[in-house]
Homo-oligomer: A and B are copies of this chain.
């Protein structure tokens, strides 16, 4: 799949947190964000937005290699083998510091310095 839809959307609507992984000179860099923050900004078919607080290393990594991987999961979503499903969401990302999307983010999260915008390219069932 290439879009946030169906079972993958169910998991995104339920996941308590999201792991966000970029690639840096020292290897993988892992940060997190809350599922409810993602949901508050609206989950598009191909776009996910998070409020960006610090994320300095993530930003530096994305400037060299804009690939990103997200892991979402929830026991509340139906899985292929019972309750519980995860999804790996792969795409590219950027940290945006001005414009309409940042105004939207700052209206809901005044502490944010910008928006982490993810352009979804593929989603794969996990767990």
The residues of A with any CB-CB pair to B shorter than 8 Å are: 15-17, 19, 21-23, 27-28, 30-34, 36, 65, 67, 69, 71, 73-75, 84, 86, 88, 126-127
Complex Cα distance A84/B32, Å?
Answer: 12
Q: Which 7 A-B pairs have the closest CB atoms?
A: A19-B19, A28-B28, A17-B73, A23-B27, A19-B71, A32-B86, A21-B28
Complex Cα distance A71/B86, Å?
Answer: 14
Determine whether the beta carbon of B21 is less than 8 Å from that of A74.
Answer: no
- 12 A-B interface contacts by CB (under 8 A): A16-B16, A17-B127, A21-B28, A21-B30, A23-B27, A27-B28, A27-B67, A28-B28, A32-B127, A33-B127, A34-B73, A34-B84
